[in-house]
Structure 1
């Protein structure tokens, strides 16, 4: 690594999905450093992976739900209380099918469906402010076309 590369700041690049169904939203309850929090299905972008593929993969790994992305809800930037910084690409998705016996990622306690009211009432347990903001973006009608996100030189 060159000296210049060492000086470049790099935030965590993550993806998340908002998956609505019958007035409820798919969330995960997860253990983060001994604290049980609520989050959308979300995770880090992996090397040579497109943002779209990452969102579908993370949703399946964390919830057992196979989804079809429908839109980009937005790009969010957040600095956590610990000082870590994240850039998150949040997508809307339709639930297609559930693999009930599929093991969930390490740290994921369970997947659950909650209403916006239930999510807001449990705001102290949200992993970040991006969780409720993304639900509100969905409910507010925010939708960007998926072709707003373009990938070059990933997975040949």
Structure 2
């Protein structure tokens, strides 16, 4: 009998949350980039996925979100073989006072103005996941030596 192939994969777990207030959404200018994303961060070893998104939103935005809903995933395989998985959440219930962090400045923007700002890291495609039931995953594959992303249902 041959050796058993391992089915375990090293995964870097992260989250991202679209926080909505009526027609406005919360965005973040990440330090070191020239663009805007939705806030998020890493899952710590000793916390649940839900606890991680609540903690990250508090740390990065000053807001305490309630009842975040999982909308889908963004994922890809990194060059070292590690899978990078972003759990996508949406929340419209929150308390606290908005404040920026060392991760970057956070601010509200009207949804109608999202096309006029520099959304990076495929945030426009992620809005398709946040806003509809049509897609649940944004997956990157390497094609012709470059990452190419695809929305999956």
Return the TM-score normalized by structure 1.
Answer: 0.67
The equivalent position to 2:130 in structure 1, one of 124, 138, 141, is 138
Looking at secondary structure, tell me which structure has more helix per residue: 1
Q: Which has the higher relative contact order, 1 or 2, with Cα contacts under 8 A spaced 6 or more apart?
A: 1
Quote the offset at 1:9 in angstroms: 5.3
RMSD: 2.9
d(CA) in 2 for partners of 1:80, 1:48: 24
**Deviation for aligned residue 1:107:** 2.9
Q: Which of 82, 101, 120 is 2:115 aligned to?
A: 120
TM-score by length of 2: 0.68
Distance in 2, Cα, partners of 1:143 & 1:64: 30
Structure 1: 5+ residue stretches without partners: 1-7, 145-156
1:93–1:27 Cα change, 3 Å: same
Show CA shifts across 1:25-69 (max 9, x none). 11111213xx23311110011111111011011111111111113
What is the aligned residue count?
A: 128
Deviations 1:95-140 (A, max 9, x none): 421224x5x43231x2111233422332xx33411x2233222322
Query: Take 1:79 and 1:24, find their aligned partners in 2: how far apart are those partners?
Result: 33
